[in-house]
Amino acid sequence: MTGVTSGVLSIDGYVGGASTIPSGPSNSYYGATFSSVIIKSGGTWTGTNTIDSGATVTVSQGGVLSGGAVLNGGSIISYNSTSGGLTFAWGSGGGILELKSGAIDRAETPLAGNASIIVDSGGTLSGVVLQSGNSLVVSSGGTLNGTTTINAGATATFSAGAKESGVTLNGDTISAYNSPPYFTWGSSGGTLVLESGVSDTNESPKAGSATIIVQSGAKLSNAVLQSGNKLAIHSGGVATGTVVSSGGGVAVYGSASNTTVNGGGVIEITSGGTATGGTINGGSAYVDASATLNSATVANNGLAVVSAGASANNVTVETNASLAVNSGGVASGTIVSSNGGLAVSGSAANTTVNNSGVVEINSGGTATGTTVNSGGNVYADANSILGTTTVSNGGQISAASGATISGTVTIEDGGSATIWNNAGGSVDLQGDTNTGLVISGLASGGTLNTVISGFNGASASNSDSIELAGVKAADVSSVTYPSADQVKLTLSNGNDITLNIVGVSNYGFTLADGSDGWLSYEVCFLSGSMIRTPEGDVAVENLQIGDQVVAFDWQNNKDTSHPVVWVGKTHATVRAGLPDDEAGYPVRILKDAIADGVPYKDMLITPEHCLFFEGKFVPARMLVNGVSIFYDKSITSYDYYHVETEQHSVIRADGMLTESYLDTGNRRSFRQEGSVVSLGGKPRSWEEDAAAPLCVDRVFVEALFRKLECRENSIISHEVPALTLTQTHDPDLHLLTQTGAVIRPMRHSGQQYSFMLPAGTQSVRIVSRASRPADVIGPFVDDRRHMGVAIAEIHLLSAKQQHNITAHLQTEKPAGWHATDWTDCAWTNGNAVLPLGEDLLNGKMGILSMTIRAAGPYLVDDQETAETEARSA
């Protein structure tokens, strides 16, 4: 029976009207006012009724609400599943619609504002469009189906156990407590909040303003983020397998694994966050204080930055990518390969540098436990610390002036290192043919405070050697050993160079000019060489102290006899991999190569051994033509001898005029032959003690070379095709930044090259092809330096200001520049450091322009030629 009890109108029949509840003028039934309504089964409440705030209408199963009712701030509670049993309009005041167990409702469209829909367990809502300010809650056991759109400003909450389908998130928020939430991303995006306990997968928002939040205890797998999309992984939350495209971003406060960040994408690992695995594939990763990046790969021009207090562990850097460790940051177990770069301003431990990988230890940075494999490079800048390091065969380290060695740098045979005399620490030379250590800073004398161990100089051509940059053999007047572990070189200017080498006095020391002006060479005969004596020719190995040899007095054109005062013998083993003239291969001079009967049999001598022509001594290496005079590569190990007369003499070996031994300081590298001991005096010099002047002048030597070249075909009885070496004038000029990035020219016109530099660039390496003039012109050119490009003016344009860069023109040049008498131009060696200063590009990009005054020609190796031909096929 319909009636009002305690302000509640209970309807089991038909009631019409235009009431406004709870307090409108027409909310009475037969004089009894009411503020709420219960529509029982079989009852109908119809008319233009308004349900304001504070009023509640309950629609039972079988009841009907119809006739233009408006929900305007009040509540409707429905148990009704009958089609048409719940008909009303949403007013501007919103209100609450609650669908109880058994209730079914369709196509709700609240107005923007404070409107809420609650779907309880057993209730069903089929289709809803939520506007700004609206909210939807689907409780456990509740069902949402049909077409649902959640527009900007609206909120949907899916409880654990809720069932939803057909939902489109189009600008606002879904809070999901169920696994997984079922919905579709609309073009306007929105926010998905994964609450504790939820596991979601394969989310792929459309490009635009879409956000996914992974709360503590929630997990997201295999999401794909487009431009404008964001993913926030809160503390305790987990995301795995995320792919971030250009313009997308991830913030990690919790845990992320196997994330792929493509070009233009960003991942930021914030305090307390951890990212493990995955690839920074051209994108960027920023590791903030108290955050960690583990076991990731940075590739394809990607960038990872480790801030102060952050750490990166077991990261692989490759394919022109960079890992930057800022001051206070830590990297451990990094692998750098394939043009990847590691820039260390903080600390790096246990780094492995593979082929084409580059590590630059910036000022204030420390790297320890580093392994530099073949093709890898480590550069230690001023005020950096190079800790324990192993340089393998083919690896290279270069420590600038002011860099410090802390611990031991181990250079394996075939590895190389350039350090300054004030580096400290120790260097261990592995193997017996280690020639990889270059020491700078001693050109004017001084003491090396680095201790060198593992030095073995028992056998010339099969021994370790140390290069002193800027010091030539002619600069050294004597070599002494103040202690068993020290060698002192006294320079002609009176200054001393002291090297601390463990056990050096046991092995001796040899100095001579080499291809770069600093290397050591031996001058001697091979066993089997026949030396002219008054009694006839005697094999060099059979000569004894006191024997007479025939000497040619070329100034008076007559033969004389001189006694042998010393015979030295040692053993040589070829060091394959070096240029032929440096490797130790003997030079074979074929019978009749010089003239008929000269030599009267094939002659074998070392490359630096001098032959006598027209009153001058010429090194054999400068006459090698590859046909009648060539490096005999079939001989890789041999004994060789020095024969010394009281005065340096012109003697005959195998019928050829040549030289006796001139002691320039390397006597101790040889074992004396014979039973009588001969004590050597002070070292002699070519300028004061030679029997004839040493001539390496191109005009004289090239004419001699061409003359001997004309005899080739008659000597070997048939015409020999000319050897053609592929050459190019293209320097392949490019830059390498301190982070290892390769920069190609943005513009090239004639002699002018221009490069775009990234912000913050403090130095670059000018890299190009490089060849030795002795190789590209001919051995008759006594210049065995590797020549890259000759650079004149260098300008840096930044923020509309032009700076003149002149470091390469200073007397004390950076690494990789050849000394020169020019004041306006300098040659590189193919890999030269160019400092730009710390402040010129601080936060700004710049254009570096340079004038190349000369370049090439360069030899092109067979592999490069084959690759070029393949590309043009």
561 and 704 housed in the same domain: yes
pLDDT > 90 fraction of the chain, expressed in percent and rounded: 65
pLDDT tens-digit map of 217-246: 999 999 999 999 999 999 999 999 999 999
710 and 734 housed in the same domain: no
Number of domains in the chain: 2
Question: Which residue from 19, 21, 15 is spatially nearest to 46, judged by alpha carbons?
Answer: 15
745 and 622 housed in the same domain: no
Q: Tell me whether residue 735 is in a domain.
A: yes
From 693, 716, 739, give the residue that closes a domain. 716
pLDDT tens-digit map of 533-557: 999 999 888 888 889 999 999 999 9
Spell out where 163-204 has E strands.
163-164, 167-170, 173-176, 184-185, 190-194, 199-201
From 656, 684, 716, give the residue that closes a domain. 716
Q: Tell me whether residue 160 is in a domain.
A: no
pLDDT tens-digit map of 391-414: 999 999 999 999 999 999 999 988
588 and 709 housed in the same domain: yes
User: Are the C-beta atoms of 156 and 174 separated by less than 8 Å?
Assistant: yes
Q: Tell me whether residue 836 is in a domain.
A: yes
703 and 775 housed in the same domain: no
| CA gap 56, 22 in Å, rounded | 8
CA torsion, ordered 502, 504, 506, 508, to nearest 10 deg: 170
622 and 641 housed in the same domain: yes
Q: Is the pLDDT of residue 141 over 90?
A: yes
CB under 8 Å, gap of 24 or more: what pairs does 865-871 form?
865/726
Q: Tell me whether residue 794 is in a domain.
A: yes
Average pLDDT over residues 705-730: 74
683 and 753 housed in the same domain: no
Q: Tell me whether residue 806 is in a domain.
A: yes
Is the sign of the CA dihedral 624, 627, 629, 632 positive or negative? positive
Q: Is the pLDDT of residue 521 over 70?
A: no
Average pLDDT over residues 252-270: 97
CATH number of the domain that 693 lies in? Answer: 2.170.16.10
User: Are the C-beta atoms of 76 and 51 separated by less than 8 Å?
Assistant: yes
From 669, 694, 716, give the residue that closes a domain. 716
Q: Tell me whether residue 624 is in a domain.
A: yes
User: Are the C-beta atoms of 790 and 761 separated by less than 8 Å?
Assistant: no
614 and 653 housed in the same domain: yes
Tally of CA atoms within 13 A in the half-sphere of 311 that contains its CB: 12
Please, what is the average pLDDT of the chain? Answer: 87
User: How distant is the alpha carbon of residue 107 from its chain centre?
Assistant: 59
Question: Which residue from 159, 152, 188, 201 is spatially nearest to 176, judged by alpha carbons?
Answer: 159
In this predicted structure, what is the pLDDT of residue 545? 84
In this predicted structure, what is the pLDDT of residue 723? 56
823 and 770 housed in the same domain: yes
Q: Tell me whether residue 173 is in a domain.
A: no
Q: Tell me whether residue 417 is in a domain.
A: no
568 and 701 housed in the same domain: yes
709 and 568 housed in the same domain: yes
Q: What share of the chain is helix, strand, coil (3-state, %, to 5)?
A: 5, 45, 50
Structure tokens at 848: 């570096």
In this predicted structure, what is the pLDDT of residue 207? 94
Q: Is the pLDDT of residue 107 over 60?
A: yes
585 and 710 housed in the same domain: yes
Q: Which residues pair with 279 in a beta bridge?
A: 260, 297
Domain range for 788: 727-863
Average pLDDT over residues 572-576: 73
Its pTM stands at: 0.62
pLDDT tens-digit map of 751-775: 999 998 988 888 999 999 999 999 9
